[in-house]
Amino acid sequence: MNSTQPNFGFSATNGDLRTTNPLPRAVLRSNNYLLLDGEWRFALDPGDVGLRDAWYVSHQYEHVANWPGSVEEHMEQTREPGQPSSRWQDKVVAWYEREFSLPERGDDHSLFQLTFGACGYETQVWLNGHLLRTIEGEDIHYGEYTSFSFELRDEYLRPNNRITVRIADTMDAETPRGKQESHVYKRGGIWYQTHTGAVRSVWLEMVERNRLRTRVGVESVIEDRLVRFNMTTRIHDPGVYTVRLQVFSTNEPAPQPLAVSEFELRLEAGQRQQRMVMELPGAKLWGPGMPNLYRLVAQLIDSEGYTAQIETHFGMRKVESRGRHVYLNNEPTYLDGILYQPGTATYEEMRLHMHAMLELGCNLVRVHIAGVDPRIYNLADELGLLLWVEVPSPHSSTPRSRENHRAELLRMLALIQSHPSVVIWSLYNEDWGCQDIATNPETRRYITDMYHYMQIEHPQFLVVDNDGWQHISQEGRLKSDLLTAHLYTPDLPRWQELLDRLVEGEMVGTAAFPLVVGDPFFYRRQKPLIVSEWGGFGFADYGGPQAGEERTERIRQFKQELRRRDIAGDVYTQATNIEDERNGVIDPHTGALSVPAGLLSSKGDGEQVTGNR
CA 147 to chain centre: 11
Q: What are phi and psi of 239, to 5 degrees?
A: 165, -170
CA dist., res. 410 & res. 454, Å (int): 10
* Max mean pLDDT range (81-95, 96-110, 301-315): 301-315
Q: What is the pLDDT of residues 211-264, one digit of tens each?
A: 999 999 999 999 999 999 999 999 999 999 999 999 999 877 667 899 999 999
DSSP structure class, residue 191:
B
Give 423's pLDDT tier (boundaries 50, 70, 90). Answer: very high
Give 611's pLDDT tier (boundaries 50, 70, 90). Answer: very low
Secondary structure (3-state) at 289: coil
Asked whether the predicted pLDDT for residue 5 surpasses 80, the reply is: no
Q: What is the pTM of this model?
A: 0.94
Residues 279, 225 contacting (CB under 8 angstroms): yes
Secondary structure (3-state) at 548: helix
Residues 373, 200 contacting (CB under 8 angstroms): yes
Residues 157, 102 contacting (CB under 8 angstroms): yes
Q: Where are the beta strands (DSSP E) in 153-216?
A: 160-170, 197-198, 202-208, 211-212
DSSP assignment of 428-492 equals: EETTTT-TTTTT-HHHHHHHHHHHHHHHHH-TTSEEEEEETS-EEEETTEESSSSEEEE---S-H
Q: What is the pLDDT of residues 494-535, one digit of tens each?
A: 999 999 999 999 999 999 999 999 999 999 999 999 999 999
Q: What is the pLDDT of residues 538-569, one digit of tens each?
A: 998 898 888 889 999 999 999 999 999 999 99
- State the average pLDDT for the chain: 92
CA dist., res. 421 & res. 374, Å (int): 12
DSSP assignment of 508-535 equals: SSSSSS-SEEES----SS-S-EEEEEEE
Residue 197, sorted as left (phi over 0), alpha (psi -120 to 50) or beta, turns out to be left
